[in-house]
A = this chain, B = another copy of it.
Amino acid sequence: MTTTAAAPDHPLLGKHREVLDEARAALAARSWFSRYPESPSPRVYGESAAPDGLAAYTAHLGSTYAALSDQPSDGTLVGSEVSPYGPELRVAYPHLDVDAALAAARAAIPAWRDAGPQLRAAVCLEIVDAINRRGFEMAHAVMHTSGQPFVMAFQAGGPHAQDRAVEAVVAGLVEQERVPSSVVWEKPARDAPIRMVKDYRLVPRGVSLVIGCNTFPTWNAYPGIFASLVTGNPVVVKPHPRAVLPLAITVDVARTVLRDNGFDPALVQLAPEADGEGLAKTLAERPEVAIIDYTGGPRFGEWLEREAASRGALVYTEKAGVNTVVVDSVDDLRGTLGNLAFSLTLYSGQMCTTPQNVYVPGDGVETDEGHLSFGEFGERLAGAIRRLTDDDAEAVELLGATVNEQVRTNAAQLGELALRGGGEIVLEPREVTHPAYPDAVVRAPGLLALDASAEEVYTTECFGPVTFLIRTSSTRQSLSRFVETVRQHGAMTAAVYSTSQEVLAAARDAAADAGVALSENLTGPVFVNQTAAFSDFHGTGANPAANAAYTDAAFVANRFRVVTSRRHA
Contacts and interface: CB of A to CB of B under 8 A. Distances in A.
Interface of A: 1, 28-32, 110, 113, 175, 178-180, 183, 185-189, 194, 196, 198-201, 203, 205, 305-307, 309-312, 508, 511-513, 515-526, 532, 535-537, 540-542, 547, 549, 552-554, 557-558, 561-568
Contacts of A180: 29-30
A536 B564 contact: yes
A28 B29 CA distance: 19
Given A198-B535, A537-B562, A32 B187 contact: yes
A333 to B, nearest CB: 16
Contact of A189 (B199, B525, B541): B525
Contacts of A198: 30, 535-536
B29 A183 contact: yes
A203 B188 CA distance: 39
A185 B516 contact: no
Contacts of A568: 521-524, 526
A457 to B, nearest CB: 26
Contacts of A30: 179-180, 183, 185, 198, 200
A327 to B, nearest CB: 15
A188 B525 CA distance: 12
A567 B201 contact: no
A54 to B, nearest CB: 26
A561 B541 contact: yes
B567 A194 contact: no
B564 A542 contact: no
A161 to B, nearest CB: 17
Given A32-B186, A305-B310, A525-B194, A537 B511 contact: no
Contacts of A515: 203, 561, 563
A511 B199 CA distance: 12
B307 A565 contact: no
B28 A178 contact: yes
6 contacts: A32-B188, A179-B552, A203-B542, A517-B565, A523-B568, A557-B558
A32 B185 contact: yes
Given A203-B542, A542-B203, A558-B558, A31 B194 contact: no
Nearest to A558: B554
The winner among A512, A536, A540 for most chain B CB atoms within 10 A is A512
B183 A535 contact: yes
B567 A519 contact: yes
Contacts of A541: 558, 561
Contacts of A512: 113, 201, 203, 563
Contacts of A194: 524-526
B564 A537 contact: yes
A536 B196 CA distance: 11
7 A-B pairs with least C-beta separation: A542-B561, A520-B567, A554-B558, A553-B557, A310-B310, A554-B557, A518-B565
A300 to B, nearest CB: 15
A561 B310 CA distance: 22
A562 B535 contact: no
